[in-house]
Amino acid sequence: MLAVGACAAPSSGGAAAPAPLTSTSATTTGSGPTASTPSPSATSSGHPANPVVARCGLPNAAATPIRIGGPAGNTLTGAVVGTGPTVAVFVHETGRQGLCGFWPYAVWLGGQGVRSVLLDLCGHGDSRCDLGSEFAGDLPTQVAMAVAWVRAHGARRVALVGASMGGTAVTVTAQRVHADAVVDLSGPVEFLGMDTAKALPRLTMPTLVVAADNDPDTDAGRLRELVAAAPARHKRFLPVGSGHGWDTLAAGPFPGDGFSAVAVVVRDWVLGRYGTA
C-alpha cells in the first residue's frame, strides 16, 4: 500500500477537474516542486467529491471515472486526474486496491503538469470482464487499450508506469504501443506469462526500473542486467533500500509522510526529464 494514501474510508475536498472526455469506445462520468519529499494536499471535511474519492479516500481531489470498452463486452474502468497532453497511464499491483494504490501520487502529479489515467485491470474495481476469456488474462492488451484511449483523448506524450504486476505489464507492453517512456516499479521478471527478460532488451524508449535488492518478489540483480542490455538511449536502474511496487514512492509508512526521492525521479521521467541517466 502506498503509505501516503490508502484505498480506505471516504474523504473529500477538491482540485482542478479534468476536462470532460468522450469516445465511441468509452463512456465517462464527470464529476514542479524541487523538494525531494513533496506532500500531497488533502482535506477531510464534508462528503466525498466524487466516486473515486469515495472509493480511494484521501487526498480529496476532483477526478473523472471512465469506462473503456473492450472485445466481447468486456469493459475496463479507470479514473482521470489532472489535465494536459502529457499523460501517465498507471497499472496497479495485485490485490483489492486496484487503481487506488496510485491515487495519491496521481493527484500530486496533477499539480506537476501531468494528466494521469489510473486503470483497473480485469478482476479489479468495477471492470467487467469474462474472467475465463483470453482477454481477461491478457494484461498487455488491456494496457494497450488504455493507451489507445488516452491518445484518442488528446494525449501527445504517453508514459507507462506500473507497480509489481503492473510493472511487468507495462514493460512488456511499452514497445508494442510505442510509449514515450516506461517506468517499472519492482515488476517480477516473469508473471502470468509475461517475460521482461524478453521485453527489456528490446526497449528503445526511455526506461526506468526501480527495485530493492532485498525484495523477495522480484530479482533486482537480473533487472539491473536487463536494463543494461536495453538499446534505449536513456535507461536507468534505480536501486532502493527497501520497499516494493508503489511503496517505493512513499517517503514513510504513514499517510501524510509525503513522497520519496524515487517519486520525484518517476515524475521527471514521465515529463521527459532524464538528466544524465
Q: What is the mean pLDDT of residues 145-161?
A: 98
Q: What are the pLDDT digits (tens) for 82-98? A: 999 999 999 999 988 89
- Please tell me whether residue 55 adopts helix, strand or coil conformation: helix
What's the predicted TM-score (pTM) here? 0.82
Instruction: Give the pLDDT band (50/70/90) at residue 242.
Output: very high
State the Cα–Cα distance between residues 3 and 144, nearest whole angstrom. 28
State the Cα–Cα distance between residues 17 and 27, nearest whole angstrom. 17
- Please tell me whether residue 235 adopts helix, strand or coil conformation: strand
Quick one: cell of 159?
Answer: 508514459
Q: How far is CA 239 from the centre of its chain?
A: 19
Q: What's residue 254's pLDDT?
A: 82
User: Amino acid letter at 193?
Assistant: G
Kindly give, in sequence order, each residue whose CB lies less than 8 Å from that of residue 34, ignoring residues fewer than 6 positions away: none
State the Cα–Cα distance between residues 232 and 202, nearest whole angstrom. 8
Written out in words, the top-level CATH class of the domain with range 73-271 is: alpha beta
More confident residue, 26 or 207: 207
Q: What's residue 226's pLDDT?
A: 98
Q: What's residue 33's pLDDT?
A: 34
Q: What are the pLDDT digits (tens) for 47-95? A: 555 899 999 999 999 999 999 999 999 999 999 999 999 999 999 999 8
Report domain extents, the chain: 73-271
CA atoms within 13 A on the CB side of 164: 20
Quick one: cell of 190?
Answer: 516473469
Q: What's residue 275's pLDDT?
A: 79
